[in-house]
């Protein structure tokens, strides 16, 4: 069984309304934010016998805007290579320091399953769905300014931010289940400007990409 996870009904619904749930695929809403996501995914995996063959986490994300590099743009599809928990540590003027050296050990970075990533990239390419791939940052507190976003982007070489990905990845690693993450950019991380959001279109793009991906993974 493949488990599909998304934070909200808006994101999951955009997929389910357009593409009826295929056999062998289950869904779970994680809720918004890393704590809720960690609790719900861990509870699901603890009760799953046998465990899912893979977890696919999807939804919308904010693209960081950093000068001197190619940033993700509105409605771009992005694949995660790594998830970092970007606001865990000591919040200083221009970065979040880890607690290394203080005697407190932190788990704040998970590499996603490389085999799934390679298969997904091949499936999306064959379906002519363009994508970017890179580091995803998970935050408890949405970056409400371009400056804050650029600091996180620079510190972690991150492409975009969300609020659940690290938690899902950490739970999956704990239970030994391979995980893949795909998000569509609904907003850029700039000084708050809600009127520029493209939430509906991003959810629809994401749903279409997930449908191609699930079909491809089942046919593989
Ligand atoms: O009110 C705002 O300014 C605002 C800015 C970004 C996101 C929100 C949300 O309430 C959505 C959180 C929800 O969507 C994902 N998401 C989408 N864009 C971002 C982002 O720029 N930073 C963090 N999370 C984002 C996230 O995974 C949540 O599930 C409000």
SS3 content of the chain, % helix, strand, coil (to 5): 35, 25, 35
Q: Return phi, psi of residue 120, to 5°.
A: -65, -40
Mean pLDDT of the chain: 94
Kindly report, residue by residue over 55-93, the tens digit of the pLDDT: 999 999 999 999 999 999 999 999 999 999 999 888 888
Q: Is the CB of 189 under 6 A from ligand 1?
A: yes
Which of 59, 84, 141, 142 should be mutated for ligand 1, with most atoms under 8 A from CB?
Answer: 142
Mark out the alpha helices in 134-181 (DSSP H runs): 146-156, 165-175
The count of structural domains within the chain is 1
Peptide bond into 50 cis (omega under 30): yes
Helix axes 34-46, 165-175, angle to 10 degrees: 30
Strands 96-97 and 109-111: unpaired
CA 78 to chain centre: 9
Query: Could you tell me the distance, in angstroms and rounded to a whole number, from the CA of residue 61 to the centre of ligand 1?
Result: 7
What average pLDDT does the segment 121-137 reach? 98
Backbone angles phi, psi at 88, to 5 degrees: -100, 120
DSSP single-letter state for residue 77: E
pLDDT at residue 92 in the model: 85
Nearest atom in ligand 1 to 7's CA: 29
- pTM for this one? 0.95
- pLDDT-wise least confident of 33-37, 112-116, 199-203, 212-216: 212-216
- Using alpha carbons, select from 151, 125, 143 the residue that is nearest to residue 190: 143
Percent of the chain with pLDDT over 70: 99
Q: What is the CATH number of the domain that holds 186?
A: 3.40.50.1580
pLDDT tens-digit map of 137-190: 999 999 999 999 999 999 999 999 999 999 999 999 999 999 999 999 999 999
Q: What domain range includes position 128?
A: 2-219
Locate 145 and state its tokens.
Answer: 């300014």
Gap between the Cα atoms of 110 and 89, Å rounded: 16
Please tell me the distance between residue 189's alpha carbon and the centre of ligand 1 in angstroms. Answer: 9
Predicted local distance difference test score (pLDDT) of residue 212:
94
Q: H/E element holding 12?
A: helix 9-18
């Amino acid at each position: 069984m493949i488990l599909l996870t998304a934070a909200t009904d808006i994101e999951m619904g955009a997929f389910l309304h357009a593409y009826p749930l295929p056999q062998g695929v289950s869904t779970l809403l994680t809720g918004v934010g890393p704590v809720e996501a960690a609790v719900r995914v861990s509870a699901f995996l603890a009760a799953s016998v046998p465990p899912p063959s893979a977890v696919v986490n999807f939804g919308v994300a904010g693209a960081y805007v950093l000068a001197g590099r190619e940033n993700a743009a509105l409605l771009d599809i992005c694949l995660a290579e790594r998830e970092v928990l970007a606001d865990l540590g000591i919040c200083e003027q221009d970065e979040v320091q880890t607690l290394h050296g203080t005697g407190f050990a932190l788990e704040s970075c998970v590499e996603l399953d490389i085999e799934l990533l390679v298969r997904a990239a091949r499936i999306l390419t064959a379906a002519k769905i363009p994508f970017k791939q890179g580091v995803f940052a998970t935050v408890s507190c949405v970056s409400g300014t371009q400056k804050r976003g650029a600091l996180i982007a620079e510190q972690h070489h991150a492409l975009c931010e969300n609020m659940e990905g690290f938690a899902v990845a950490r739970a999956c690693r704990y239970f030994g289940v391979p995980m893949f993450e795909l998000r569509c950019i609904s907003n850029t991380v700039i000084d708050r400007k809600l009127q520029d959001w493209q939430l509906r279109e991003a959810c629809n793009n994401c749903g279409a990409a997930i449908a191609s991906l699930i079909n491809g993974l089942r046919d593989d």
